[in-house]
């Protein structure tokens, strides 16, 4: 774990100033961790969309998806990517909820395709 050390080598800072600086460093550490979580959730959602798009365009998978199923997935991907562009400052939990929402659409379709014999196709496994 990274530690922030603030020392008072020259006697220029009072104990209160050092304590305040340590307190601020801890505060910013928490904010940084929250920001990191938000970015990871956003990137995870975006990557999931692109992985799904790649999966439905693989030949093995195409053979086991109806045009309607492909359209459902592609429309949801397009809608989600547009939503991401418009809501890039959303909270981590919002990105996670959005991913669960699209997984609820994609997973039943993908499970059916895998069970129909497309299991050898690359890309994300449903629920992974």
pLDDT in tens, 103-114: 999 999 999 988
pTM score: 0.72
pLDDT in tens, 1-32: 677 776 656 667 888 888 898 888 888 898 89
* Pick from 127, 100, 102, 125: nearest CA to 114: 125
- Distance, in Å, from the CA atom of 125 to the CA atom of 128, rounded to the nearest integer, reads 5
Position 109 scores a pLDDT of: 93
User: Where do the domains of the chain lie?
Assistant: 15-118
- Distance, in Å, from the CA atom of 65 to the CA atom of 1, rounded to the nearest integer, reads 47
CATH class, domain 15-118, is mainly alpha
Position 101 scores a pLDDT of: 96
Inter-helix orientation angle 92-113/15-56, to 10°: 20
């Amino acid at each position: 774990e990274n530690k922030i050390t603030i020392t008072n080598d020259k006697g220029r800072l009072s104990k209160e100033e050092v304590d305040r600086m340590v307190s601020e460093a801890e505060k910013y550490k928490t904010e940084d961790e929250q920001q990191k979580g938000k970015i990871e959730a956003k990137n995870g959602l975006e990557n999931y969309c692109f992985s799904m798009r790649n999966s439905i365009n693989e030949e093995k998978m195409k053979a086991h998806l109806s045009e309607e199923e492909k359209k459902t997935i592609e429309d949801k991907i397009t809608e989600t990517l547009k939503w991401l562009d418009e809501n890039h400052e959303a909270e981590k939990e919002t990105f996670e909820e959005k991913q669960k929402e699209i997984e609820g659409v994609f997973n039943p379709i993908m499970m059916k395709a895998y069970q129909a014999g497309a299991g050898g196709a690359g890309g994300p496994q449903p629920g992974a």
